[in-house]
Amino acid sequence: MKAQVRYFASLREALGPAETVDLPDGATLGQLRDALLARGGRHAEVLARGRAVRCALNHVMADEAAPIPDGAEVAFFPPVTGG
């Protein structure tokens, strides 16, 4: 199955705006993040487990246990701070 992955803020600066990824059926957001980490390089740096990264699935905040349906849009972004 395929998913559109979008990056925002500092993640977008490091990885670009978006990419399409192939995933096994039933993959979760956590498994997608692990697959991106396994690429190494910039992906491993900005999506590292020690870094605070939020994710959304089809425009709804989700945790890493959420299953990804075919054709979904996944967004990764840093936590938002304000003042």
- pLDDT tens digits, 28-82: 999 999 999 999 999 999 999 999 999 999 999 999 999 999 999 999 999 875 5
Please report the pLDDT score of residue 83 as a whole number.
53
Q: Tell me the pTM.
A: 0.92
Quick check: 62 and 55 in contact, CB under 8 A? yes
Which CATH number do you get for residue 71?
A: 3.10.20.30
Is residue 82 domain-resident? no
Is residue 62 domain-resident? yes
- Structural domain including 64 reads 2-77
Please report the pLDDT score of residue 80 as a whole number.
75
Averaged pLDDT, 19-30: 96
Is residue 15 domain-resident? yes
Q: What are phi and psi of 6, to 5 degrees?
A: -115, 145
**How many independent structural domains does the chain possess?**
1
Q: Per the structure block, which two tokens stand in for 83?
A: 């003042």
Whole-angstrom distance, CA of residue 12 vs CA of residue 17: 5
Q: In 62-83, which positions are buried (b, 16+ CB within 10 angstroms) versus exposed (e)?
A: beeebebeeebebbbbbeeeee
Please report the pLDDT score of residue 43 as a whole number.
97
Averaged pLDDT, 6-25: 96
Is residue 83 domain-resident? no
